[in-house]
Amino acid sequence: MIRGRLISIVLGYGTLAAGACVLAPLVGSTHISLARAFDRSIPFADNVDAQIFFVARMPRVLTGAIVGSTLASAGVVMQALLGNPLATPFTLGVSTGAALGAVLAITFGSNLAISALASVPIASLAGAVVASVIVYALATRPGRPISTMVLLLAGVTLNAFFSALILFVQYAADFTQAYRTIRWLMGDLDVGGFQPIVAALPLVLVALGLFAFLPRSLNLLSVGADIASTRGVDVGRTQRLAFLSASLATAAAVSLAGPIGFVGIVVPHLVRLMVGVDHRIVLPASALFGAAFLIGCDLIARTVLAPVEVPVGVVTAMVGGPFFLWLLVRKS
């Protein structure tokens, strides 16, 4: 029975996500001719429509799909792991670690000759990994389940500590660097080519692959760790896997597009309101709906005030927040 339901829901949400992927590149701040964009007889360098389609819009939409699905599914996992509906992929300090890395690269990167190593995506990925390792080391004891309380406190404290470090670095930075840092924190999907996507994809795929092992245990875990362990779930192992995969997913997404807020909390809740609480369905549905959601928000971001853009993180908050509240009120 679950299998049939899963298939129909995944098909439904999959159609939505695929539709967003196909339709979003057709729309933008300028009008382009599709026939011309795909006309092979025009050299690529002369074909402005093809340039806009393949260099500007396609990578952007794909980034939206990847980041949206990763953040949304990481949000589902974090909420189950912490047993807290307010948890987000950013709760345990991963994004703040990434932000610290990015801020350091923005502030000091231009002074270093090794600018390839000091690039913002690599520095933010490194920051995210460092943050996850610290939280993991603080919260885990060998052979024992993770105390979610300790995990949460360690994450929140690390968030605060890294935020303070970010402020300190920003304080030392000059005006333009501080400005660029703030802009990075608002999130940006305009990656300008497929290369950044290709670089982030392996991490994303590993994380999503690990998520596939989680739904059944997460269902039991969200009832309670004790009940889960009497039902044969290795709680410690599940928690570690959930934490590591969600952190990896978040790290990859944030290093690709900055810490885009709201996706990781609004999408899981919206999906739960629509399909129920079974993680076997919520997890894939959130991944697909997250992709469509972020592509849609970015479409608004790049068209509503054209030629000027609205940061996509601002749009996710403005669209996601009220919509979420409306659903909440309607449901209760």
Partner 1 sequence: MAARAKELICAVLLVLCGAAAPGSRADARESVGGQRDQTAPQTRATRVVSLVPNVTEMLFAVGAGSQVVGVSSYDDFPPETKTLPRVGALLDPDTERIFSLRPNLVIVYGSQTELEGQFARAGIRVYPYRHAGVDNVLQTIRDVAQLTGHQTEGDRVVRDLRSQLDAIRARVRGRPRPKTMLVLGRDAGSLRGVYTSGGVGFLHELLDIAGGDDVFGDIKRESVQPSNETMIVRAPEVVIEMHSGESPPADVLRRERAVWNSLVSVPAVRNNRVYLLYGSYLMAAGPRLGRAAEALARVLHPEVYR
CB of 38 to partner 1, least distance (A): 15
**Chosen residue from 6, 10, 27, 48 binding partner 1 by CB under 8 A:** 48
Residues in the chain: 332
Indicate whether 23 belongs to the interface with partner 1 (CB under 8 A): no
CB of 325 to partner 1, least distance (A): 30
Indicate whether 316 belongs to the interface with partner 1 (CB under 8 A): no
CB of 94 to partner 1, least distance (A): 21
Segment near partner 1 (CB under 8 A), from 111-119, 151-159, 220-228, 281-289? Answer: 111-119
Instruction: Give the distance from CA 112 to its chain's centroid.
Output: 29
CB of 299 to partner 1, least distance (A): 12
Site for partner 1 in 275-304 (CB under 8 A): 302
Interior CA angle at 297 toward 34 and 213, to 5°? 100
Q: How many CB atoms lie within 10 A of CB 212?
A: 10
Interior CA angle at 98 toward 313 and 279, to 5°? 70
Q: How many CB atoms lie within 10 A of CB 196?
A: 17
Indicate whether 230 belongs to the interface with partner 1 (CB under 8 A): no
**Chosen residue from 188, 215, 288, 299 binding partner 1 by CB under 8 A:** 188
CB nearer to partner 1: pick between 168 and 326: 168
Encoded amino acid at 251, one letter: A
Q: How far is CA 53 from CA 17, 274, 296, 303, in A?
A: 19, 34, 17, 15
CB nearer to partner 1: pick between 8 and 110: 110
DSSP letter for each residue of 277-331: S-HHHHHHHHHHHHHHHHHHHHHHHHHTTTTS---HHHHHHHHHHHHHHHHHHHH
CB nearer to partner 1: pick between 180 and 240: 180
Which of these, 53, 43, 117, 71, lies nearest to 297 by C-alpha position?
Answer: 71
Segment near partner 1 (CB under 8 A), from 4-12, 109-117, 214-222, 273-281? Answer: 109-117
Indicate whether 176 belongs to the interface with partner 1 (CB under 8 A): yes
- d(C-alpha 263, C-alpha 80), whole Å: 16
The set of residues, in sequence order, having a beta carbon less than 8 Å from that of 307 and lying 6+ positions away, is 29
Indicate whether 38 belongs to the interface with partner 1 (CB under 8 A): no
Indicate whether 41 belongs to the interface with partner 1 (CB under 8 A): no
Indicate whether 104 belongs to the interface with partner 1 (CB under 8 A): no
CB nearer to partner 1: pick between 72 and 125: 125
- d(C-alpha 78, C-alpha 242), whole Å: 7
Number of residues that bind partner 1 (CB under 8 A): 43
- Give yes or no for a contact between 21 and 295, defined as CB atoms under 8 angstroms apart: yes
Indicate whether 329 belongs to the interface with partner 1 (CB under 8 A): no
Q: Could you give the residue ranges of the DSSP H alpha helices within the chain? A: 2-23, 34-37, 48-51, 58-82, 94-108, 120-139, 148-172, 175-185, 195-211, 215-221, 225-230, 235-257, 263-275, 279-303, 312-331
CB of 222 to partner 1, least distance (A): 38
CB nearer to partner 1: pick between 48 and 165: 48
CB of 171 to partner 1, least distance (A): 7
DSSP class of residue 128? Answer: H
Site for partner 1 in 132-171 (CB under 8 A): 171
- d(C-alpha 73, C-alpha 213), whole Å: 13
Indicate whether 28 belongs to the interface with partner 1 (CB under 8 A): yes
**Chosen residue from 109, 259, 313, 320 binding partner 1 by CB under 8 A:** 109
Chain residues that interact with partner 1, rule: CB under 8 A: 28-30, 44-48, 51-52, 55-57, 60, 105-106, 109-111, 113, 115-116, 118-120, 171, 174-176, 180, 183-184, 188, 190-193, 196, 302, 306-309
